[in-house]
Amino acid sequence: MKTESKKFLLQEKEIPEAWYNIVPDMKVKPAPMLDPATKRELKAEDLYPIFAEELAKQEMNTTDQWIEIPEEVRDMYKIWRPTPLVRAAGLEKALDTPAHIYFKNESVSPVGSHKLNSAIAQAYYCKKQGITNITTETGAGQWGAALSLAAQHFGLALAVYMVKVSYNQKPYRRSIMQTYGAEVIASPSMSTKAGRKIITDNPTCQGSLGTAISEAVELAMSTPNCKYTLGSVLNHVSLHQTVIGLEAEKQMEMAGEYPDIIIGCFGGGSNFSGISFPFLRHNLAGERNTRFIAAEPESCPKLTMGEFRYDFGDEAGYTPLIPMLTLGHEFMPANIHAGGLRYHGAGSIVSRLKKDGIIDAVDIPQLETFAAATLFARTEGIIPAPESSHAIAAAIREAKKAKEEGRQKVILFNLSGHGLIDMASYDRYFAGDLTDCKYEPAK
């Protein structure tokens, strides 16, 4: 069978030269982070003990629309960027929809996800500042894998706290991190105060991103010349991910279309922001009216059911207070297979945009995501990550709606990663062992 799916490719020299910072273009800007003890507004300097200085400055930058991508970072992007944009004609045909469906394929990175876009930038700025050690947490292992490669490239020693449920469910991600030279610790662990407290209170605790963040921050604060890094949620992470949307913008132009709807799956918000913000700037300028949809799991619906308030980014309360849509930092999401989406809150920019009605969100049940993933694999040939399958499921919903309405919509979604290391989850789906997990507010 001949595939009709069409690829739009850019040349290496078209890798963006600057990241897009959306904050200067927002009419209502996100509120500042606060010091939890004094409730004082934080400045970039306040973050220097935890983060590399350049990253702390980017986090707080509300004035520069464009931030230059260092040559060393662009050089490393060349390993796999620019990534393809694909017209998913096979999927369109299977759905018999008048909609045109495009996806940006971030799964082609060496680690299989978009996470490397920010990992390289973060490792680079740490190295440039003379840092020798970095720590982080990882849920499904995607961020840890990306940072392991980046740390190795820039000669940094890396300790990764991996959420215990994923450490056991996804041993190959641990192997990948170790292959790149990182030290990997299952979280909660006995190696930190935060971990010991959680294990003492609840010996069978399977961990969460919040717990792993607490451990990684604690180790960074207690180790000399060591910084902490984070793969989602924060503004500078979303900033680095805008290379996705900036490339996609050029590629949609090559395709001769402009998206009516843009979709990204949603954990803390980085890949959704990456595909969306460059297009959203045209909405903010009054030039376009694209609809943006963040696809989150039904079991962890911070955007649709969360409260808009200040909350900690982690479970133990080590991070600054962040203004966010949150289910509460003590919320333990169900053990769904999309480990990268099990996070209690949304980044402050996306939370603000959602609150102001500038973006939309949908909650997708687990079984629907695996059905969508299977259809996508069989029509487009790529086995998606369980996280990315949320975006595919949302795109399929929109394509079906277009058919019912008899309208020719242009839909663009981000394929944030492939699922070749998640096949145990697919096995469980095919065996009928997976269930939907409804959200239950914390007791």
Give the interface with ligand PLP as residue ranges (CB under 6 A).
Answer: 113, 115, 142-143, 232, 265-272, 340-341, 385, 387-388, 416-417
Q: Measured between alpha carbons, how far is 47 from 268 in angstroms, rounded to an integer?
A: 19
For ligand PLP, the closer of residues 226 and 383 by Cβ is 383
CB 322 to ligand PLP: min, Å: 14
CB 173 to ligand PLP: min, Å: 10
CB 135 to ligand PLP: min, Å: 17
For ligand PLP, the closer of residues 189 and 416 by Cβ is 416
Side chain identity, residue 215: E
Residue 302 DSSP SS3 = helix
Retrieve residue 36's tokens: 């939890």
Q: Measured between alpha carbons, how far is 159 from 216 in angstroms, rounded to an integer?
A: 8
CB 354 to ligand PLP: min, Å: 13
CB 337 to ligand PLP: min, Å: 12
For ligand PLP, the closer of residues 143 and 318 by Cβ is 143
Residue 214 DSSP SS3 = helix
For ligand PLP, the closer of residues 139 and 323 by Cβ is 139
For ligand PLP, the closer of residues 143 and 312 by Cβ is 143
Q: At what angle do helices 116-128 and 53-60 cross, to 10 degrees?
A: 120
For ligand PLP, the closer of residues 268 and 345 by Cβ is 268
Among candidate residues 26, 20, 21, the one with its CA nearest the CA of residue 358: 26
- In 10 A of CB 42, how many CB atoms? 18
Q: Measured between alpha carbons, how far is 273 from 118 in angstroms, rounded to an integer?
A: 12
- In 10 A of CB 54, how many CB atoms? 19
CB 441 to ligand PLP: min, Å: 22
CB 74 to ligand PLP: min, Å: 21
Q: What is the CA radius of gyration of the chain?
A: 20
For ligand PLP, the closer of residues 139 and 259 by Cβ is 139
Q: Measured between alpha carbons, how far is 421 from 95 in angstroms, rounded to an integer?
A: 27
Contact 429, 370 (CB under 8 A): yes
Retrieve residue 100's tokens: 């045109």
